[in-house]
Amino acid sequence: MKNKVAYITGGTKGIGLGIAQVLHKHGITVAISGRNKEDAIEVANQLSTMEAPVFGIGSDVKNFEDEKNAVAEITKKFGKIDYVIANAGIGIFKPVDELSIEEWSSMIDTNLSGIFHTLKASVEELKKSEGYFITISSLAGINFFENGSGYNASKFGAVGFTQAAMQDLRKYNIKVSTIMPGSVSTHFNGNEPSEKDSWKIQPEDIGELVLDILKMNPRSLPSKIEIRPLKPKG
């Protein structure tokens, strides 16, 4: 896997950073993006080693042109892209009658349209490399709950989009999977990770899962994967 190149959106913290750390540790060349270019570069510099630099890029997945430019920068620097992990996402949790148009649009544009933009920008490179496209959805993509109308809609959509894209792209030997985590110890929704989150899935656990998927024999395709804490709190 040492000659492989991975692009991870939303890679400056949380699940995206956990994935980047694990893939980098195992010799994969990693590029990460975030809405703030300076943050992406700073995190990339912290991860980089002399033997394995990490590339930081500014890109807002809501903007297709940003994703096109990110893919162009990566292919210019490394010559190819083998793996794309569409991880960027946000969550706003309110009753449907209180959810604003702007909040709804922000979630749909990031969590759903964003993964389309990422795939649309990278699919021709993935055809060349016969690569892997992975989306990070959520158990909220199959389980609805109170105050989750916008988030549920975006994540149900992400699961449906990814499964349909898998059917479209398998004829090019592109593998497509979606991962649906339960509770993860991240800064998501204003949480501050601490010892109180030790029962949750940790970001590096998702990274290890991604690594396992990438190492799987290419004749097999785990197209939809649920992962949850072993022992839910309470």
Return the SS3 of 115.
helix
Q: Which residues of 42-63 are buried (b: 16+ CB within 10 A; e: fewer)?
A: ebbeebeeeeebbbbbbbbbbe
Residue the block writes with tokens 């892209």: 81
Range list of H helices, the chain: 14-25, 37-47, 64-78, 101-107, 113-129, 149-169, 203-215
Q: Are 181 and 136 in contact (CB under 8 A)?
A: yes
β-partners of residue 205 are: none
**Both tokens assigned to 232:** 């839910």
Which residues does 144 contact at the CB level (< 8 Å), separation at least 6?
152, 156
> How many C-alpha atoms does 190 have within 13 Å on its Cβ side?
2
**Both tokens assigned to 13:** 């913290």
Mind telling me the catalytic residues?
151
Which residues does 173 contact at the CB level (< 8 Å), separation at least 6?
130, 218
